[in-house]
Amino acid sequence: LAKTTQPISMDSYEGQEVNITCSHNNIATNDYITWYQQFPSQGPRFIIQGYKTKVTNEVASLFIPADRKSSTLSLPRVSLSDTAVYYCLVGDRGGSTLGRLYFGRGTQLTVWP
Amino acid sequence: DTEVTQTPKHLVMGMTNKKSLKCEQHMGHRAMYWYKQKAKKPPELMFVYSYEKLSINESVPSRFSPECPNSSLLNLHLHALQPEDSALYLCASSLLPTGNTEAFFGQGTRLTVV
Residues ≥6 apart with Cβ < 8 Å to B50:
A97, A98, A99, B30, B31, B56, B97
- For chain A, give the mean pLDDT: 90
Strands B31-37 and B87-94: antiparallel
SS3 content of chain A, % helix, strand, coil (to 5): 5, 45, 50
Nearest residue to B42 (alpha-carbon basis) of A89, A21, A51: A89
For residue B99, the 8-state DSSP code is T
- For residue A95, the model assigns a pLDDT of 47
- Substitution target in A37, A48, A101 with the highest count of B β-carbons within 10 Å is A101
pLDDT tens by residue, B34-82: 999 999 999 999 999 999 999 989 999 999 999 999 999 999 999 999 9
Are A87 and B42 a contacting pair at CB < 8 A?
A: yes
Are A101 and B45 a contacting pair at CB < 8 A?
A: yes
Dihedral (CA of A65, A94, B105, A5) sign: negative
For residue B40, the 8-state DSSP code is T
Are B104 and A42 a contacting pair at CB < 8 A?
A: no
Lowest mean pLDDT among A2-6, A53-57, B45-49: A2-6
| 3-state SS assignment for residue A58 | coil
9-68 of A, contacting B, C-beta below 8 A: 30-32, 34, 41-46, 49
A-B interface: how many C-beta pairs under 8 angstroms?
A: 82
Contact B107, B9 (CB under 8 A): yes
- For residue A1, the model assigns a pLDDT of 54
* Strand order through the sheet with A70-75: A18-23, A70-75, A61-64, A53-56
- For residue A98, the model assigns a pLDDT of 54
Contact A98, A104 (CB under 8 A): no
- For residue A96, the model assigns a pLDDT of 45
Residues ≥6 apart with Cβ < 8 Å to A44:
A36, A37, A38, A87, A103, B43, B90, B92, B103, B105
pLDDT tens by residue, B22-40: 999 999 999 999 999 999 9
Nearest residue to A18 (alpha-carbon basis) of A66, A70, A103, A84: A84
Point out which residues pair with B23 in neighbouring strands: B6, B74
Are A43 and B4 a contacting pair at CB < 8 A?
A: yes
Q: Determine the residue of chain A that is closest to B90 in CA distance.
A: A43
Contacts of B45 in chain A (CB under 8 A): 100-103
Are B96 and A49 a contacting pair at CB < 8 A?
A: no
Point out which residues pair with B97 in neighbouring strands: none
